Chains A and B, each alone.
Chain A
Amino acid sequence: MTRPAARADERAAAGAAAAVRVAGVTQRFDRVGPPVLDGVDLAVAPGEFVCLLGASGCGKSTLLNLIAGLTSPTAGSITLSADRPALMFQEPALLPWLTAAGNVELALKARGVGRAERRDEADRLLRLVNLGGQTGKRPHELSGGMRQRVALARALAQDSSVLLMDEPFAALDAITRDVLHEELVRVWSAQRLAVVFVTHNVREAVRLAQRVVLMSSRPGRIVQEWTVDMSQPRAIESPGVGALATEITAQLHQEISRHAQ
């Protein structure tokens, strides 16, 4: 059912141009101590769903910010197939003075979409995340899960072939998270996006990804990868997900234990 991936970057490189290519990226914020990221190589194929997994301090969010272009690396290079990747944060980060539709329209406006078209497109995207009836609500009138779905609609409004997600469901309760996993997989299979999803939740990673990439902490390095061959949609409590999650968790614990001395 599962096997450790044999250098998945090479596999991606063999095919079409990668959606995301991270080559030899090292990131330091100060001169002393180990770098946050140390020689990270990662290639994500177009339409591929990759989860970056690791304990705190492994630099997975740093790596995501680098891919998003919010910061630039100390060394190494990052190339993207898209001009500008879409990004979702852990918080919904909706602008509180705009309605759900207004928040989505802002992303469309930034892309230069005309006013009339913006309204229709925002409606369509909100319907896509099953929020068709809530377009006029302001963020504070929506639940946490609904806000995160508006944030997903806004990210999709960026119309990028690359979607970056920084622990977007970490603050949600388990039932809402299950629902959003389904939502995300549905949207991903419909839109064929390359997704880089950062999480510290092993089961979540196995539930969602085609490939799980485990990072070590201090310095942040990629230590192991798993290809998840189970078909979507898969349930987070299914035996297959549980078995692979157990294997990956053991590896993760081993990585964390190295810091015990």
Chain B
Amino acid sequence: MPSDAPGSVQDPIVVEPRRLATGRSVEAGLDALDTATAAPARRGAWRTLTRSVLPPVVFLALLVGVWQLVYLAGVKPSYALPGPAKVAATFWETVTDGRAAEAVWTSVSRGGVGFALSLVIGTLLGLAMWASTWLRAAIGPIVSGLQSLPSVAWVPAAIIWFQLTDAAIYTVVLLGAVPSIANGLLTGFKQVPPLFDRVGRVLGLGGLDRIRLVLLPAALPGYLGGLRQGWAFAWRSLMAAELITYSPSLGQGLGQLLNIGRELSQMSLVITSIALILLVGVAIELLVFAPLERGVLRRRGLTTDR
């Protein structure tokens, strides 16, 4: 070994070169060490119960308890604030006489159709805005602005254009959901690391294949966020539209049920309708969007949530 010249790298004192034949077992050992940490066991049923189910149930029970106390204290006359028992009776009545099912089905099917239309239009709009910088510059600010415009503001215009028809309702739903979906897709595209595109080019993927195999899957998390928000906006817009456009030809959605409660001054029906609207929102979130998003994020290692 020559002694270190000034400014040279440090040379370790080597008596004998390491034997290279050990390499494969060193590698196997490293791999085993790196992957040996077993994933923590999936939550058991008991843990799910205590961590996820119990807290909201306890909170709801507390809420009902406070409600009952306020009712008993007579803060408001009973027609304005009926007690939990009365509301429960009305809720049960609407469920047993089929009005709840009818209203939920009418609204959810409208919401579903409206959301499906928004999905197609919003996705196409998002793709067009991503592909054309001119289009993005031209309508980007308007699309972002529309996202913050409460779509109930469109109801009067929609009624004047389409009278009291489903078309008026769908117009409002679309104006609520399309901007969120288009913006979500655009955000998804913007967040794709440039390295992924370089990988596609290095591998020799053509333009269309790069979009299909690299860019679109990479943009999926942002797109899903947009879809989720798009659904929330569609559902809100739908309720606003149903509440205002009341006509026998339109059938009876949840918004209309709510309106009947108001017209009859039947507070228990009003609370029942609100509860149903909330339940549908929670159900769609829990059954559709949350599992979808969790699946995508977990597959990519973007969440520690199990």
Type the 1/0 row for A199-235, where 1 means its CB is closer than 8 Å to any CB of B.
0001100000000000000000000000000000111
In whole angstroms, what is the CA distance A244 to B3 when docked?
13
Contacts of A119 in B (CB 8 A): none
Contact A96 B24 (CB under 8 A): no
Contact B8 A237 (CB under 8 A): no
Is A179 an interface position by the 8 A CB rule?
A: yes
Type the 1/0 row for B114-156, where 1 means its CB is closer than 8 Å to any CB of A.
0000000000000000000000000000000000000000000
Type the 1/0 row for B183-227, where 1 means its CB is closer than 8 Å to any CB of A.
000000000000110110111110001000110011010000000
Task: Determine, out of B14-22, B85-93, B169-177, the stretch whose residues face the partner at the interface.
Answer: B14-22
Contact B203 A179 (CB under 8 A): no
In whole angstroms, what is the CA distance A84 to B204 when docked?
8
Contact A239 B300 (CB under 8 A): no
In whole angstroms, what is the CA distance A179 to B209 when docked?
35
Contact A158 B9 (CB under 8 A): no
For the residues of B in contact with A, the DSSP-based class is helix
In whole angstroms, what is the CA distance A158 to B202 when docked?
9
Contact B198 A70 (CB under 8 A): yes
Contact A89 B300 (CB under 8 A): no
Q: Which of B8, B196, B199, B214 contacts A249 (CB 8 A)?
A: B8
Contact A203-B12, Cβ < 8 Å, known A143-B30, A182-B20: no
Contacts of B12 in A (CB 8 A): 237, 242
In whole angstroms, what is the CA distance A203 to B218 when docked?
37
**How many CB-defined contacts (below 8 Å) exist between A and B?**
127
Minimum distance in angstroms from A237 CB to a CB of chain B: 5
Contact A130-B24, Cβ < 8 Å, known A141-B301, A239-B14: yes
Contact A246 B5 (CB under 8 A): yes
Is A74 an interface position by the 8 A CB rule?
A: no
Minimum distance in angstroms from B107 CB to a CB of chain A: 35
Contact A107 B14 (CB under 8 A): no
Chain A residue nearest to B203 (CB atoms) is A110
In whole angstroms, what is the CA distance A152 to B201 when docked?
17
Contact A97-B299, Cβ < 8 Å, known A158-B204, A245-B9, A253-B7: yes
Is B52 an interface position by the 8 A CB rule?
A: no
Contact A68 B23 (CB under 8 A): no
Contact A235 B2 (CB under 8 A): no
Chain B residue nearest to A158 (CB atoms) is B203
Minimum distance in angstroms from B16 CB to a CB of chain A: 9
Q: Which of B4, B14, B201, B301 contacts A140 (CB 8 A)?
A: B301
In whole angstroms, what is the CA distance A158 to B300 when docked?
24
Q: Which of A70, A138, A235, A249 contacts B9 (CB 8 A)?
A: A249
Contact B1 A239 (CB under 8 A): yes
Contact A238-B17, Cβ < 8 Å, known A97-B217, A110-B204: yes
Contacts of A111 in B (CB 8 A): 204
Contact A233-B20, Cβ < 8 Å, known A95-B217, A111-B204: yes
Q: In which size bucket is the chain A interface?
A: 35 or more
Is A46 an interface position by the 8 A CB rule?
A: no
Minimum distance in angstroms from B145 CB to a CB of chain A: 33
Contacts of A183 in B (CB 8 A): 23, 27
Contacts of B57 in A (CB 8 A): none
Q: Which of B5, B18, B196, B299 contacts A138 (CB 8 A)?
A: B299
Contacts of B296 in A (CB 8 A): 97
In whole angstroms, what is the CA distance A139 to B34 when docked?
13
Minimum distance in angstroms from B30 CB to a CB of chain A: 6
In whole angstroms, what is the CA distance A164 to B34 when docked?
27
Contacts of B34 in A (CB 8 A): 142-143, 145-146
Contact B301 A96 (CB under 8 A): yes
Q: Which of B20, B31, B217 contacts A143 (CB 8 A)?
A: B31
In whole angstroms, what is the CA distance A233 to B196 when docked?
34
Minimum distance in angstroms from B133 CB to a CB of chain A: 21
Is B26 an interface position by the 8 A CB rule?
A: yes
Is B11 an interface position by the 8 A CB rule?
A: yes
Contact B30 A176 (CB under 8 A): yes
Contact A140 B198 (CB under 8 A): no
Contact B202 A70 (CB under 8 A): yes
- Tell me the residues in window 88-126 of chain A with beta carbons closer than 8 Å to chain B beta carbons: 89, 91, 93, 95-97, 106-107, 109-111
Contact A179 B27 (CB under 8 A): yes
Minimum distance in angstroms from A118 CB to a CB of chain B: 13
Is B73 an interface position by the 8 A CB rule?
A: no
- Tell me the residues in window 124-152 of chain A with beta carbons closer than 8 Å to chain B beta carbons: 130, 134, 138-143, 145-146
Apart from A175-B26, A233-B20, A245-B9: 16 A-B pairs, beta carbons within 8 A: A84-B202, A84-B204, A89-B199, A93-B195, A106-B213, A138-B300, A139-B301, A140-B300, A140-B301, A154-B203, A158-B204, A179-B26, A182-B20, A234-B17, A237-B17, A249-B8
Binding site for A on B (CB under 8 A): 1-2, 4-5, 7-9, 11-12, 14, 17-20, 23-24, 26-28, 30-31, 34-35, 195-196, 198-199, 201-205, 209, 213-214, 217-218, 220, 296, 299-302
28 pairs from A and B in contact (CB 8 Å cutoff): A87-B202, A89-B195, A89-B199, A97-B299, A106-B205, A109-B213, A110-B204, A140-B302, A145-B34, A146-B34, A146-B35, A154-B203, A158-B202, A178-B23, A179-B27, A202-B9, A234-B17, A235-B18, A237-B12, A237-B17, A239-B17, A242-B11, A243-B1, A245-B9, A246-B4, A246-B8, A250-B7, A253-B8
